Structure 1
Amino acid sequence: MKYPLNVTSEIGELKTVLLKRPGKELENLTPEFLEVLLFDDIPFLPAIQKEHDYFATTLRNRGVEVVYLDTLATEALINDDVRMNLIEDFMRESNLVETRSYEMVKEYLISLPKDQLISTLMHGIRKNELTSTGKKHLHEMLEDFDPFYLYPLPNLYFTRDPAAVIGNGVSVNRMNRSARKRESLFLQYIIKYHPRFAQHDIPLWFNRDGAYSIEGGDELVISHDTVAIGISARTTAQAIEKIAINLFRGNSNYQKVMAVEIPKSRAFMHLDTVFTMVDHDKFTVHPGIQGPGGEMNIFILERGDSAEEVNISQRSNIVEALQEVLNLKEVTLIPCGGGDHIASAREQWNDGSNTLAISPGVVVTYDRNYVSNELLRSYGIEVIEVQSSELARGRGGPRCMSMPLYREDL
């Protein structure tokens, strides 16, 4: 079977992508739980599904194979032992292990066909769906004010974050926020057990069991030998150094990791919300991440004297840093919203900088970001717009909603 993973650039022709169609997990959002579940609003499920289907169809019409997270997770449950291990891992990470409801929830999950099991783990279990018997302890009476046995995973349609393919390997990520930590568990099981991946010796650049967080929205494969990673509200410097060491040790092609510090705020969640690659020498950027004179904190990590070390040097100008690591004479930054103070802030909030390149100079964007889209076209970029009224409520764009598994090399 063909080796299933290959991403050596952000812009190589996209051949296979992993998506998650929004599901019932969004209907378990309520106003009081929006903050803890990392949402600002409640999408309308039929409408967001229609928009996501349009997005998936747009990719298929360009020759991209679309595979779905829930389908792969279901197919990864190859026997009863794997199925039981997933249930126990998921319940432990949901903090259910030491509660009286543990056995009741576990028995319910065991009773489900495996496709329903995966969908239930994703959309959660409300307490009114199961009947508890016997006397309650004090902590359980207090917990009755919480409507869930298992909290939903409404951010799952942002498949970019739980894992990222880099070269011929993958980082299975430790998510920064507790509401998202369980998401990468599905990817761990898929890579380990799914027939499409399990028969290959796939390198693991990062393990979700570590102490420090990293998320895929901060991981950009900008060339065959350089990865850019954001130091952000969701990705730590320690995780970046660890993945750099693993990458240098496990793949001789990779020579540099460019760590880019961005403001740690909700609006600038990941590097790809403010900076994406759209062509060999062109990038979108939100001007708000740059300081006076365009200065930024940029660090170049390179191979050290031993396998456990990296050499680190600092830069302050992103254009010059990109020219250096990509060996280019010129690099063009295309400002979100045309650089206008109001338009750039508005369109960045709606992911105007979050483009998904499907080949060099061809990107998928949200239709609502019309200022940024017209500017991209003026630079010779082909822009394919997708519907976004409900999808944008989750604070993520086309790149956030897609995990490339295979791109053609440039």
Structure 2
Amino acid sequence: MIIRVVRRVNLNNIQVYNEIGKLKRVLLHCPGEEIENIVPDYLTRLLFDEIAFLKQAKKEHQQFSDILRNEGVEVLYLTELMAEILQDPEVRKSFLEDFLMEGKVASQGLKEGLLEYFSDKSPMEVVRKSMGGVRKEELKEIKVKQLADMVKNPYPFYLDPIPNLYFQRDPFASIGRGISLNVMFSRTRNRETLFAKYIFDHHPHYKDIPRWYNRDMSHSIEGGDILVLSDKVVAIGISQRTDAVAIEMLAEKLFKSQETFETILAFDIPKTRAYMHLDTVFTMVDYDKFTIYPGIEMPLDVYSLKRGKNHSIDITYEENKLSNILKEYLKLSSVTLIRCGNNDIIAAGREQWSDGSNTLAISPGKVVCYNRNYVTNEALRNHGVEVLEFDSYELSRGRGGPRCMSMPLIRENL
């Protein structure tokens, strides 16, 4: 079957060799029904700390995408790319089977019931419903019941919602002209990478993209920990959600390729939910300027992984402080670290909680930020950085900011 898609110039390319070059194309997911299927009893299971109000969250997300479009960025949506490939009946069948398996659908009767439930839905409805979750009340009948179906269970879903999907930074990461198709730390989030897998397996514009890591590998790595600082240097956080083993495995594949990257800087950050990913405490906003949460500066262990001889990797513990490490590897004469909360310990803690350091650069010295982080945003402006703000009453409840919500597909080279 021929998949009908709108032609876009150079859509087959992933091109990300920096964090600040003019953003040309980005992937987003606007929150949907999955947000309204979060209930207090299951917040921890779904990795949320609070209940978000969907109507307002959608308004805020529209503000975000409008800012990007007004700056000349082409905005693609995960739902639309998935709906395009699910026009093919064989791809649709395979996706649903994989999705039910990874959704821990245990019995054959329930599996058959869910497949029948999805059978009369359009490709877009399949996508949105697989993301939103299937409540028990929606499935009228399970024809052949097994013990697992008969035992009383108060849990209200046959398929869990996937509310973290609006954080498109994590399931995969664009690095050079390839991607890291990630293994998520939490089983709750690992189904998110299935959408990326199907896009990069089947979408006619993306299916030949090289992979530096794959979702069937053994150790977790998430995109929020991956920052492409230049065409020579990638920074990756060793965090609660990214394992040092995964970083070394990615480095081995990347260094064997024809890509220009020579060094991976591994930042060993605290392994707690408050820090979560490297990009929640450190982002690049200009050629020589970075936002940082003061809590990670002392001490911060940094390791460099470099191409060695015969495809080996040379690993070195970096003795210098962070600013000197950045100057050395990015060939800069000076580096400015702009501290979240502008060095006020109370403001820093409050605004780091709502992702004050999680900026999205759309060109050198121009960033998108939540408006609630006004102390940090003013500090950015005082250092010559242009800040574009949008509302963040509800989106911030998911514990992620503008960088977390976006996956760049193409940036201009510097």
TM-score, with length taken from structure 2: 0.95
How many aligned positions are there?
404
Whether contact under 8 Å (2:306, 2:313) holds in the other structure is yes
- What residue is the counterpart of 1:118 in the other structure? 127
Please say which of residues 72-81 and 56-65 is displaced more in the overlay.
Answer: 72-81
Measured against aligned partners, the alpha-carbon deviations of 1:168-204 in whole angstroms (never above 9, x if no partner) come to: 0011111111111000111111112112223xx3111
Q: CA deviation at 1:143?
A: 5.3
Whether contact under 8 Å (2:109, 2:142) holds in the other structure is no
Whether contact under 8 Å (2:176, 2:259) holds in the other structure is no
1:69-218 matches, cutoff 5 A: 69-98=78-107, 100-133=109-142, 136-142=145-151, 144-198=153-207, 201-218=208-225
From 284, 287, 294, the equivalent of 1:277 is 284
- What residue is the counterpart of 2:58 in the other structure? 49
Runs of 5+ consecutive residues of structure 1 not aligned to the other structure: none
- What residue is the counterpart of 2:318 in the other structure? 315
1:50-65 matches, cutoff 5 A: 50-65=59-74
Distance 1:183 1:125 in 2: 16
Please say which of residues 101-110 and 377-386 is displaced more in the overlay.
Answer: 101-110
SS of the residue corresponding to residue 260 of structure 1 reads: strand
Whether contact under 8 Å (1:166, 1:221) holds in the other structure is yes
Runs of 5+ consecutive residues of structure 2 not aligned to the other structure: 1-8
Query: What is the identity percentage for the equivalent residue pairs of Structure 1 and Structure 2?
Result: 51
1:4-83 matches, cutoff 5 A: 4-83=13-92
The reply to whether residue 265 of structure 1 matches residue 269 of structure 2 is no
SS of the residue corresponding to residue 268 of structure 1 reads: coil
From 328, 331, 335, the equivalent of 2:339 is 335
Please say which of residues 390-399 and 137-146 is displaced more in the overlay.
Answer: 137-146
From 235, 241, 245, the equivalent of 1:238 is 245
What letter matches 1:225 in structure 2? Answer: K
Please say which of residues 86-95 and 135-144 is displaced more in the overlay.
Answer: 135-144
Whether contact under 8 Å (1:78, 1:193) holds in the other structure is no
What letter matches 1:302 in structure 2? Answer: K
Distance 2:82 2:161 in 1: 16
Distance 1:97 1:137 in 2: 9
From 372, 377, 381, the equivalent of 2:376 is 372
State the Cα RMSD in Å: 1.3
Whether contact under 8 Å (1:218, 1:231) holds in the other structure is yes
- What residue is the counterpart of 1:229 in the other structure? 236
Q: CA deviation at 1:133?
A: 4.1
Whether contact under 8 Å (1:203, 1:250) holds in the other structure is no
What letter matches 2:406 in structure 1? Answer: S
